[in-house]
Amino acid sequence: MWMNAKLQLAYDDGFIDPTNLRSKLQKHLAFDAELQVSEDRVQAVQEDGEKLIAENHFDKERVEPS
């Protein structure tokens, strides 16, 4: 859910319009700060996913990066 919201922001093509660059920069800086605070959790999720894949989890296709 959190990641989906962040992906929507990442794929927003509003960067093309130079009038909102300041806003985009502020959003980017806020996301970067949030990601740094959550770095340990993100790493743990990645490790858990890799473990599921290595153990041949029955639903590993949903876990593997696309």
- Residue 60 is predicted with a pLDDT of 85
- When the pLDDT of each residue in the chain is averaged and rounded to a whole number, the result is 84
Q: Give the count of beta carbons closer than 10 Å to the beta carbon of residue 20.
A: 13
Q: pTM of the entire structure?
A: 0.53
Q: What is the pLDDT along the chain (66 residues), one digit of tens a residue?
A: 667 777 777 677 666 677 778 888 898 899 899 989 999 998 999 999 999 999 999 998 888 877
Torsion of CA 32, 38, 42, 48, to 10 degrees: 180
In three-state form (DSSP H/G/I as H, E/B as E, the rest C), the secondary structure along the chain is: CHHHHHHHHHCCHHHHCHHHHHHHHHHHHHHHHHHHHCHHHHHHHHHHHHHHHHCCCCCHHHHCCC
CB 15 within 8 A of CB 21: yes
